[in-house]
Structure 1
Amino acid sequence: MKLLKEKLLLFSPFIVCLVVLIFSLTLIPSVHPTPQHLPIAIVNEDQGADMPNQGNINAGAAIVRNIKDVQKANHDGTSAVKWVEIKNEKTAREGLNDRKYYAALLIPKDFSRKQASLQTPNPSGAKMTVLVNQGANPIAANAAGQIVNQVVDHINHQFREEIMTGFEKQGKTLTVKQAAALSSPVAKTVEQVNETGEHSANGNAPVSLVQPLWIASIAGALIVYTALRKWRFSNGRAALLSRFLQGLTGAVLAVAAGYSLVWIAADWVGISIPQIHDTALFIAICYFSFYLMITAVTSWIGFPGAGLFGLLFFFGTPLLTMAPEMMPAFYRGWFYSWLPMRFASDGLRDLLFFNKGLSMNQPVSVLLSIGAVSFLVLLASSLKNHAVSKEAGIKML
């Protein structure tokens, strides 16, 4: 049969298996994500307390010391948490707002005094505050919050055992107040900071916006590139001008994409977008940078360049929902670090969850740098040899 002589048909099972293999690799980062070195702030403002026959004790300092000792013990680099000691609550909250930490544990000034009161007839339990930075990354923040809660629970258990042992050695009996206080020696208050809210796609609104933005950038770049392929130029000046016009077209598309995407997301989809104009302008910057990058590559190597960005979409999108500390080392160091889409996601996260307006921050600076370099590469493509169309001669956009 002639059908069996077709080589493409004979190799089709291998091609299908290869495609399945390639796209299955996109699942690797999201399978069993394990946190490593999640940065969590710990603040000890405890001023200590004077105890009979013991002098001044500082329970907060002891807690910090124990936590750091445990961290040092995990010298093999597999620790789930990286504890960062911060001098006060204000600095810790600033770090949370800058997305330096996924959570924070606050030990107040009167911690030792309240803890010492548990051994008196009028006990007053100590308190701790756990701050969970939900907007930084919902998955990592929840993991960090659970870890901090477990630490507080362990402290509770340890204090209870120590106080009960002390009473037993002294032959004392517990009063009703003391027994009630010892059920939970350390009261815990959990506060969600930079909350994602109810209409945020479970905290993944930035990723939800980046996906259509990236695809639209590829589509816009290919449409303009396809139209430009029909034109032939008699000299380099005409080709250079066409590249300028190609970039100018991208700027128009960027503004249209920015405002239309925000309008659709807010009014149709129902995503909460507190800063409409800033978000639309930021998306326009993202689109323009991505458009120039894709256009520059396709101008040099043709349609296969767009295919590379399609693959980048499939491999990169799953990483956007994850915190870097929860990725395999290979993806974190060799892929996520330079992924263009992550800067768009980070910028949108600042706008949507951290109440930060549009400014020359890291995401904007990196995106503008990508756009500038891509534009220079696009202009350089005009130096290629251009054949003159026999029918139309020089055509200008």
Structure 2
Amino acid sequence: MKLFKSKLAFLSPIIVLVVVLVFGLTLIPSVQPTPKNLPIVFVNEDQGVDIPNQGKVNMGKTIADMIQKTSQSTSGEEPAVKFISVSSYQEAKKGLDHRDYYAALVIPKDFSSKQASLRGPKPISPEIEIVVNQGINTAGSTMAGTVLNGMVDQINTNVRTQLLKAFEVQGGTVTTKQAAALVSPITKKVINVNETGTNSMNGNAPVSLFQPLWMASIAGAVIIFLTLSKVRFATRKEKFSALIAQVLMGAVIALVAGFGLTWMADAIGVHISQFGDTALFLSLACYSFFLMISAVLSWTGIKGVPIFVIMLFFGAPLLAMAPEFMSPFYRDWINPWLPIRFLVEGLRDLFFFGKNFSWNHPTSVLTWIGVGSIVLIFASVVKFRSRQEEKSAAM
């Protein structure tokens, strides 16, 4: 049969194996991701209390020392969480709003005085605040909240043991109020900031919106490129004019994609608090991607398309992950160079952090990607050969 005489037919199993191996590598980031140095901010505002025969006691400092010991890895590996101490809740809140921390553990001013009251006739349970920064990343903030809840539970167990020993020394008499306080000597107050809400695809709306926008950018760039490739230009001036039209057409495509995707997301129930700002940002991102893809195609031809398809498959698993969950290779060498991550970061600011469409880090990066791409697109005119040059080369 002619099929078995074809070299391509014999190479097909090898090609399929290469495809499986290449795209199989995209699964690596999702296999048992474990956090390393997940940043959590710690605030100790405890003013302490004077106890007879003991002097000044500051239980907040005791907890801070315990946190420092538990966060240190004994195996030599990087710890799962990294506590950063700041002096005030205002400073911690600023870091949470700037996406520096996934959560905060706050010891209030009256913590020691209330804890000291647990041994008296009128016990008042002290309170620890756990502040979870939901909008920064669903997996990261959930993990941080779990760690802090477990830590407070452990503190509760230790305090309960100490109180029972103290009551035993006093003769074992415990009032009804003291017994009630022993159930949970320290109460937890969990506060969610920069909340993802109920209609945000479990906080993954920014990640979910990237794929249709990315595919729209590829489709638009390929269609315009193929259209231009069928046109014969007599001079470089004609070619340059066509490139200007390509850039302008990309802007129209981007606006249609940005506003269309925002309308569709809103129509299917995704909470879009700032329709105009979201649509403009998506349009900017789409235009930036369109220009970047067009710049590559202008130098490589249609052979450059697989680059962006591979970028889609390699980038998608990383976008939903916190950098602290990635392996060092993906965190240091893949994630920083993914242009699509700036789209997700910008959408997080708009969806969960109450920011407007403005000149911030994601916007500036996407803008400069677009500017650099425009330069490359126009520079590709040097490859163009006029009809006269083609005739001369043929002679």
TM-score category of the 2 structures, normalised to the smaller one: over 0.9
- For 1:54-95, what per-residue CA distance to the aligned partner results, in whole angstroms no more than 9, with x for missing partners? 111110111112211332455724211010112111221221
- Indicate if the aligned counterparts of 1:233 and 1:389 stay in contact, CA closer than 8 A: no
- Counterpart of 1:122 in structure 2 is 122
Shift in CA distance, 3/230, structure 1 to aligned 2, threshold 3 Å: closer
> What CA deviation, in whole Å up to 9, does each residue of 1:237-284 have, x standing for no partner?
3322222221111111111111111111111x2211100000000001
2:53 matches 1:43 = no
Query: Per-residue displacement from partner, 1:306-344 (whole Å, max 9, x unpaired)?
Result: 110011001101111111111111111110111011000
In structure 2, C-alpha distance between the alignment counterparts of 1:63 and 1:216, rounded to whole Å: 52
- The share of aligned pairs that are identical, in percent, is 50
1:237 & 1:16 partners in 2: Cα distance? 44
Equivalent pair of 1:232/1:386 in contact (CA under 8 Å):
no
Matches for 1:103-122 after TM superposition, within 5 Å: 103-122=103-122
**How do 1:159-238 and structure 2 match up within 5 A?**
159-238=159-238
SS at match of 1:202: coil
Q: CA deviation at 1:2?
A: 3.0
- Once superposed, which parts of structure 1, at least 4 consecutive aligned residues long, lie more than 6 Å away? none
CA deviation after TM superposition for structure 1 residue 137, in Å? 0.7
State the Cα distance separating 1:171 from its structure 2 match: 3.2
3-state SS of paired residue (1:135): helix
Partners of 2:366 and 2:74 in 1: how far apart? 38
Which residue pairs with 2:320 in the alignment?
321
Deviation at 1:290?
A: 0.4
CA distance in 1, matches of 2:193, 2:206: 18
1:165, CA displacement in angstroms?
1.9
CA contact (8 A) 2:140 2:322 kept: yes
How many residues matched? Answer: 389
Deviates more, 1:315-324 or 1:67-76: 67-76
Taking a change above 3 Å as real, the CA distance of residues 74 and 255 of structure 1, as seen in their structure-2 partners, is: farther
**Is the contact between residue 40 and residue 81 of structure 2 (CA under 8 Å) also seen in structure 1?**
yes
Q: Does 1:295 find its partner at 2:262?
A: no
Q: Which deviates further from its counterpart, 372-381 or 5-14?
A: 5-14
Offset from partner CA, 1:89-143 (integer Å, 9 cap, x none): 1221221111111111111100000001011111111001111111111111111
Whole-angstrom CA distance in 1 between matches of 2:273 and 2:388: 52
How far apart are 1:154 and its partner, in Å? 0.8
Tell me the secondary structure at the aligned position of residue 348 of structure 2.
helix
Per-residue CA deviation, residues 1-32 of structure 1 (Å, 9 max, x unaligned), is 33322222222222222211111111110111
* Contact 2:251–2:287 (Cα < 8 Å) also in 1: yes
Distance (whole Å) between structure 2 residues aligned to residue 73 and residue 175 of structure 1: 41
- Contact (CA 8 Å) 2:73, 2:79: kept in 1 or not? no
Match of 1:280 in 2: 279
Distance 1:322 1:222 in 2: 30
Q: Which residue of 1 aligns with 2:374?
A: 375
- Write out per-residue CA displacement over residues 216-252 of structure 1, whole angstroms, 9 at most, x where no aligned residue: 0000000110111122333333322222221111111
Deviation at residue 387 of structure 1 after TM alignment: 3.8
Equivalent in the alignment of 1:393? none
1:33 aligns to what SS in structure 2?
Answer: coil
Tell me, yes or no, if the aligned pair for 1:221 and 1:294 is still in contact at 8 Å.
Answer: yes
What secondary structure is seen at the aligned counterpart in 2 of 1:39? strand
TM-score after normalising by structure 2: 0.95
* 3-state secondary structure, aligned to 1:357: coil
Residue type at the aligned position of 1:119: R
State the AA in 2 paired with 1:379.
Answer: F
> What secondary structure sits across from 2:211 in the alignment?
helix
Describe the superposition over 1:342-394 as per-residue Cα deviations: whole angstroms up to 9, x where unpaired: 0000000110111111111110011011111111111110111324399xxxx
- Supply the distance in 1 between the matched residues of 2:370 and 2:76 (Cα, whole angstroms): 41
SS in 2 for 1:233: coil
Partner SS, residue 71 of structure 2 = helix
Q: Deviations over 1:161-220 (max 9, x none)?
A: 122222323434222211110111100011111111111111110011111000000000
| Corresponding residue number in structure 2 for 1:347 | 346
- Shift of the 167–299 alpha-carbon distance from structure 1 to 2, 3 Å rule, reads same
Give distance in 2, aligned partners of 1:74 and 1:348: 39
- What secondary structure does 1:335 align onto? helix
Distance 1:16 1:175 in 2: 75
**What's 1:394 paired with?**
none
The letter of the residue matching 1:360 is W
- C-alpha distance in structure 1 between counterparts of 2:130 and 2:168, whole Å: 32
